Amino acid sequence: MSKKIMIVEDSALMRRVFSDIIKSDSSFEVVALCQNGKEAYEKLKADADEYDVVITDILMPIMTGIELLEKIQAEKIDVIPIVISSLIGDGSDTLEEIKALKLNSLEFLNKPSNFIEARGEEFSISVLQVLHSVLGLKRKSSRVSSVATAPKRTNTRTTNKVTRTGRKMTGGNKLVAIACSTGGPKALNQVVPYIDKNINAPVVIVQHMPVGFTEILANKLNDISAVHVKEAEHDEILQKGYVYIAPGGKQLRIEKIPGGHKVKLTDEPAVGGLKPCADLMYESLENSNYDQVLCVVLTGMGSDGTKGITRLGKTKNIYVVAQNEQTCVVYGMPKSIFLAGVVDEVLPLQDIGTAISKNVGVR
């Protein structure tokens, strides 16, 4: 039986684009097209059993996507929400509403910046793979609730270690730098909680998400992890045993200071529609005092991270871990860095957290 999808988007063009993509897969059926959150909410209240997934924009007239998510959360409506949004962010008026949400199973799709991109094969594949992923995890429970305990690891055993360059992480001053996009929030739930609390390095993450949602992600991961997880703040000094997530709507760079390094958040333009952009984060490390950088590339559409890591490898001792295809929601970013020929290990998602601790070491 096909899964029933509701699309909530004030742009008629985007409604048509999403509808055409979803209808191309017989696993899914588009059963409702709504112009705003109020229209969607009324349909959900009338018969929530008619819908499996709600794909919703954030900024809409009458009722925003955030207000719709609040209704779904408060009334425990049993649907899986997927947010469509520009990753650049708008510093939005809905920021406080976003922070108030207790989001758990929530995925993001980056809204294409133009019609050509919207009609492109990569975007179509991303939409369908996200739908297959979230529906494969569907449970009959509230999906916008907080998490109090660490997630269980999956038992998936697919491609194991693949060695390409023969490099090793040895002694010295180290940093872990992670890049991820579509499917990243779920992936980070299977990585960060398994990083040793005494890891001998700071961890910096660029996850493509809109303004406000990165703070929610950081808080949720902090609740279920042994390491300290937080949204990165401007000028804060990096500490071992801490995980810093780049804020949505900002570019993150690492800057060396006497005796250490600090976070530098900037309002630089988006790069390829991305703000934060992993390439900028990796490139900033070229001038750092880190002796070694463990670069980790997880699930995501596109190639963000490949250019920055490749450049970084020309000036720094790097070790590169990529998530394998079988456990990715979208095998884009890991594929790109693998094809660049600089990957040291290809690992299934459930092995990456412990691999980080093993390669970096503990205090």
- What is the per-residue pLDDT for 118? 83
CB 2, CB 24: distance < 8 Å: no
Where in the chain are all domains bearing CATH 3.40.50.180? 174-360
Cα(250)–Cα(275) distance, integer angstroms:
6
H-helix or E-strand containing 108?
strand 107-110
Cα(311)–Cα(209) distance, integer angstroms:
24
- What is the per-residue pLDDT for 301? 87
- What is the per-residue pLDDT for 17? 92
Using the structure block, give the residue that is written with the tokens 């739930």: 189
Where in the chain are all domains bearing CATH 3.40.50.2300? 3-136
CATH code 3.40.50.180 for 174-360: yes
Residues annotated as catalytic are: 181, 208, 304
**Phi, psi for residue 203 in degrees, rounded to 5:** -125, 130
Of 3.40.50.10680, 3.40.50.2300, 1.20.120.1760, 3.40.140.10, which CATH number belongs to 3-136? 3.40.50.2300
pLDDT, tens digit only, all 363 positions of the chain: 899 999 999 999 999 999 999 999 999 999 999 999 999 999 999 998 999 999 999 888 999 888 898 899 889 899 989 888 776 555 555 555 565 555 555 678 877 777 788 888 888 888 998 898 888 744 333 333 333 334 444 444 444 555 556 677 777 899 999 999 988 988 999 999 999 999 999 999 999 988 878 988 999 899 999 999 999 999 999 999 999 999 999 999 999 999 999 999 999 999 988 999 999 999 999 999 999 999 999 999 889 999 999 999 999 999 999 999 999 988 999 999 999 999 999 999 999 999 999 999 998
User: Which of 332, 260, 265, 338 is closest to 303 using CA atoms?
Assistant: 332
